[in-house]
Amino acid sequence: AQSVSQHNHHVILSEAASLELGCNYSYGGTVNLFWYVQYPGQHLQLLLKYFSGDPLVKGIKGFEAEFIKSKFSFNLRKPSVQWSDTAEYFCAVNRRGSNYQLIWGAGTKLIIKP
């Protein structure tokens, strides 16, 4: 069965630290990849997405992610985090051509200490 793994369930960083959240998926075909963010008490918002082309994707709020096909990975990065980045981050994968299903990771709770 297809799956998405986010290896870190909780991450605690200090402000200005660099961030990398891991995401690996198990599907071998062509995929679309997403990172969503859920700020405390809010709904999920799309942070960035990868469909094709440059494997380094830039999203909102200074986030970026790199697709490494050989590793089935789509890790999220930010060079310098802020307190306002405290949130839960979800990786999701959609099989290319399958409009109807996103496979979700379990999420990573990120806490930024001021």
Within positions 30 to 69, which residues make up the interface with other proteins, using CB under 8 A? Answer: 32, 34, 36, 42-46, 49, 51
Number of residues that bind other proteins (CB under 8 A): 26
Strand duo 4-5 + 108-113: pairing: unpaired
Comparing CB distances to other proteins, the nearer of 78 and 107 is 107
For residue 22, the minimal CB distance to other proteins (Å) is 14
Comparing CB distances to other proteins, the nearer of 53 and 83 is 53
Q: Is 105 in the site for other proteins (CB under 8 A)?
A: yes
Task: Choose which of 12, 82, 98, 111 interacts with other proteins (CB under 8 A).
Answer: 98
For residue 91, the minimal CB distance to other proteins (Å) is 9
Contact 90, 39 (CB under 8 A): no
* Closest to 110 (Cα-Cα) out of 3, 6, 5: 6
- Please state the separation of Cα 18 from the chain's center in Å: 15
For residue 97, the minimal CB distance to other proteins (Å) is 8
Cα(28)–Cα(72) distance, rounded to whole angstroms?
Answer: 8
Phi, psi for residue 85 in degrees, rounded to 5:
-85, -5
Pattern 6-35, binding to other proteins, x per CB under 8 A?
x--x----------------------x-x-
Contact 35, 59 (CB under 8 A): yes
DSSP letter, residue 52: S
